[in-house]
Amino acid sequence: MSRRRFGAWDATVLSLVFAFLYIPILIVVLFSFNASRLVTVWAGFSTRWYAALPGNGPLMEAAFITLRIGLASALAATLLGTLAAISLTRLGPFRFKGLLAGMVYAPLVMPEIITGLSLLLLFVAIGLDRGFWTIVLAHATFSTCFVAVVVQARLVTLDRSLEEAARDLGCTAPMAFIKVTLPLISTSVLAGFLLALTLSLDDLVIASFVSGPGATTLPMRIYGQARLGVTPEINAICSVLIGLVTVGVIAASLLVKRDLGRQLRS
Amino acid sequence: MTRRGSWKRALVPALPMLWLGALFLAPFAIIVRMSLSTAATAQPPYRPVFDLAAGWDRLRGDLGALDLANFATLFGDSLYVASLWSSLKLAGLATVILLLIGYPLALALSRLPPRWKPLGLALVILPFWTSFLIRVYAWIGILRPEGYLNTALLWLSVVDEPVAFLNTDFAIVLGLVYAYLPFMALPLFAAVDRLDPSLMEAAQDLGAPRWKAFWLVMLPLSLPGAVAGALLVFIPAVGEVVVPDLLGGSDTLMIGRTLWSEFFSNRDWPLASALAIMLLAALLPPILIYRAVEARRWETAR
């Protein structure tokens, strides 16, 4: 008996799951081009909701703030997360290693509402004014853990003898890391950065807790309107975001593919 | 490793450790302290407020003002226990449904020809990169009384009048299943894909029907992935806020939403903190199991 091939059953499963995953998203995109304000009734193709977006001051401001928070927090998280990953895989045993591992894993599954509440209480306790920077601090904290896991996964599979060879040839440990290991894990570090950026751009719950006056993020705005019902304006802004993410993911995966191909050739 | 420069080496773990210690671990102590306080219509909205400058006697008096009254409220009012129980049930139901979808999905993905496997995986992961909020929002338009699903059902004459899909527990479970599908699919796929297919074949060659081969061979061997996926879904789903708020009804009880409204609507920070501790206590066993399973998965991956 040969290995079970991909059959009709598997094709059915995949079609149903992909339909389930994508039809809701496609409906949002489709109806963002609806000329009518009534979202269920199709009244012809129109881009009027997109044309209205740049004129929506609060929305554009929120988008700009969200992007700045995302970049700042993702940069901090990439640095901290990479350091955490190195500590957990390359430094051998050290004091509090178990504690660090616990602090990296616990936030991954911690309900956002607990993280948000606890960070808010911390900022109030130390008298930090809530706003842009408190959101950056909060996002950098949970993103650090995701970056650490992504980079750790790559470091674990990396052949250590490369680093050892560099050491044998006279490199110091930090030098060997920078010259040999870092280029090899750079794709994972980049993937970690993109993950951190996405998590920050998406976050609603934690930002709602730690944000202050003047720092309303895009998810907070969308949420405020979505609670009132479905409108073509939200469909349009959501479609723009979906488009950006799709382009970003495709670009990133092409990058990874090129990188893998280069590694295989060399 | 040399001793030389060991203090510099210590900096590498110290930085993330201090950061996570200050911004992840320390706040839990503050939640405990807040849960023992009393709500007040003041700025900040709780009492007592510790003031070290006011002297020792004052501080001792403030410490004496901490009590367990909020926990008495939590267990005295059936609303809070009921909302925790209902969150555990809805999240548990979503997890079971995801396991039932996840296994056929993971098996189908693992049987894709090598050329198509990356694309299949990418299509499962792609929605995860799209905003959680947008994906939940998309279902409002589908499930509304005058939404796309009801329009289709009415047109097909399956139903005579619109069905109330939105604002029900059904909508919440559907939303959870939809939003958390990638979290279940990926660990399951990783577990199923690395299994040697000849094991299943051996079982079938020895006369086991396909379901029995799955039950006796595939299931035990892929269990770590299934447990990881189930916990990765269950733990955050119990504390979910957005899904019950956008898809659930006004009488839906989920603890994340209850905490949210205690905090934002009632401005009762101490009670919200006590709720957070109750939620955390309920989730601690699954979190510890998740940690143990992940540690073992890392060991075997090495």
Segments making up each domain of chain A, as ranges: 56-265
Q: What is the distance in angstroms between the Cα of B68 and the nearest Cα belonging to chain A?
A: 19
Q: How many contacts (CB atoms, under 8 Å) link A and B? A: 249
pLDDT of residue B119: 87
A166 and chain B in contact, CB less than 8 A: no
A112 and chain B in contact, CB less than 8 A: yes
From B74, B90, B53, B263, select the one nearest B168 (Cα to Cα). Answer: B90
Flag whether pLDDT at A3 surpasses 60: no
Cβ of B146 within 8 Å of Cβ of A40? The answer is: yes
Query: What's the rounded Cα separation, in Å, for the pair B81 and B104?
Result: 36
pLDDT, one tens digit per residue, over A61-92 is: 999 999 999 999 999 999 999 999 999 988 87
Copy the structure tokens of residue A71.
Answer: 């970049």
% residues pLDDT > 70 (chain B): 96
Average the pLDDT over A115-127 and give the result: 93
Flag whether pLDDT at B2 surpasses 60: no
pLDDT of residue B278: 94
Distances (CA, A) of B287 to A19, A65, B128, B231: 32, 34, 22, 8
CATH class of A56-265: mainly alpha
Report the Cα B59 to chain-centroid distance in Å. Answer: 39
Flag whether pLDDT at B302 surpasses 80: no
From B174, B189, B177, select the one nearest B122 (Cα to Cα). Answer: B189
Reported confidence tier of residue A4, pLDDT bands at 50, 70, 90: low
Cβ of A122 within 8 Å of Cβ of B133? The answer is: no
Cβ of B108 within 8 Å of Cβ of A94? The answer is: no
B179: Cβ contacts below 8 Å, ≥ 6 apart? B132, B135, B136, B243
Report the residue from B30, B130, B246 with minimal CB separation from A242: B130
Q: What is the distance in angstroms between the Cα of A6 and the nearest Cα belonging to chain B?
A: 5
Give contacts of A119 with chain B, Cβ < 8 Å. 23, 27
pLDDT, one tens digit per residue, over B60-96 is: 877 877 888 899 988 988 889 999 999 999 999 999 9
Write the CATH number of the domain with boundaries B77-301: 1.10.3720.10
Give contacts of B143 with chain A, Cβ < 8 Å. none
Query: What's the rounded Cα separation, in Å, for the pair A138 and B22?
Result: 11
Cβ of A94 within 8 Å of Cβ of B101? The answer is: no
In B, minimum Cα distance to A104 occurs at B20
Q: For B39, how many CA atoms within 13 A lie in the half-sphere containing its CB?
A: 14
Mutate to test the interface with B, among A114, A129, A142 (most CBs of B within 10 A): A114
A104 and chain B in contact, CB less than 8 A: yes
Query: What's the rounded Cα separation, in Å, for the pair A138 and A130?
Result: 11
Cβ of B20 within 8 Å of Cβ of A104? The answer is: yes
% residues pLDDT > 70 (chain A): 96
pLDDT, one tens digit per residue, over B102-137 is: 999 999 999 999 888 888 988 898 888 888 898 999
Give contacts of B295 with chain A, Cβ < 8 Å. 101
**DSSP annotation string for B173-203:** HHHHHHHHHHHHHHHHHHHHHTS-HHHHHHH
Report the residue from A27, A94, A117 with minimal CB separation from B142: A27
The region that residue A36 occupies, defined by phi over 0 for left and psi between -120 and 50 for alpha, beta otherwise, is: beta
pLDDT of residue B148: 87
Q: Please, what is the Cα angle at B128 between A80 and B95, to 5 degrees?
A: 105
Average the pLDDT over B146-163 and give the result: 88
In chain B, how long is the greatest CA-to-CA distance?
81
Cβ of A28 within 8 Å of Cβ of B200? The answer is: no
Flag whether pLDDT at A144 surpasses 90: yes
pLDDT of residue A266: 63
Cβ of B113 within 8 Å of Cβ of A6? The answer is: yes
Report the Cα A223 to chain-centroid distance in Å. Answer: 19
Flag whether pLDDT at A263 surpasses 70: no
Flag whether pLDDT at B259 surpasses 70: yes
In B, minimum Cα distance to A100 occurs at B17
Average the pLDDT over A214-220 and give the result: 91
Report the residue from A4, A112, A208 with minimal CB separation from B197: A4
Query: What's the rounded Cα separation, in Å, for the pair A172 and A168?
Result: 9
A147 and chain B in contact, CB less than 8 A: no
Residue for token pair 């593919």: A257
Q: What is the distance in angstroms between the Cα of B171 and the nearest Cα belonging to chain A?
A: 14
Are the C-beta atoms of A232 and A49 separated by less than 8 Å?
A: yes
Residue, of A38 and B225, whose pLDDT is higher: B225
pLDDT of residue A264: 65
Q: What is the distance in angstroms between the Cα of B46 and the nearest Cα belonging to chain A?
A: 11
Cβ of A28 within 8 Å of Cβ of B138? The answer is: yes
Give contacts of B137 with chain A, Cβ < 8 Å. 28, 222, 226, 230, 234, 238
Residue B158 phi/psi, 5-degree rounding, is -70, -35
Flag whether pLDDT at B1 surpasses 50: no
Interface confidence (ipTM) of the complex = 0.87
Average the pLDDT over A174-198 and give the result: 88
pLDDT of residue B5: 54
Copy the structure tokens of residue A137.
Answer: 């601090």
Please identify among residues 52-71 of chain A the ones whose CB lies closer than 8 Å to any CB of chain B.
Answer: none
Query: What's the rounded Cα separation, in Å, for the pair B183 and A153?
Result: 17
> What's the one-letter identity of residue B38?
T
Cβ of A121 within 8 Å of Cβ of B25? The answer is: no
From A128, A151, A78, select the one nearest B16 (Cα to Cα). Answer: A78
**DSSP annotation string for B73-126:** HHHHSHHHHHHHHHHHHHHHHHHHHHHHHHHHHHHHHHHS-TTTHHHHHHHHHH
Residue A45 phi/psi, 5-degree rounding, is -80, 135
3-state SS of B226-270 is HHHHHHHHHHHHHCCCHHHHHHCCCCCCCHHHHHHHHHHCCCCHH
pLDDT of residue B6: 67
Cβ of A202 within 8 Å of Cβ of B132? The answer is: yes
pLDDT, one tens digit per residue, over A148-163 is: 999 998 888 888 888 8
pLDDT of residue B242: 92
Cβ of B241 within 8 Å of Cβ of A198? The answer is: no
Cβ of A229 within 8 Å of Cβ of B140? The answer is: yes
Are the C-beta atoms of A144 and B20 separated by less than 8 Å?
A: yes
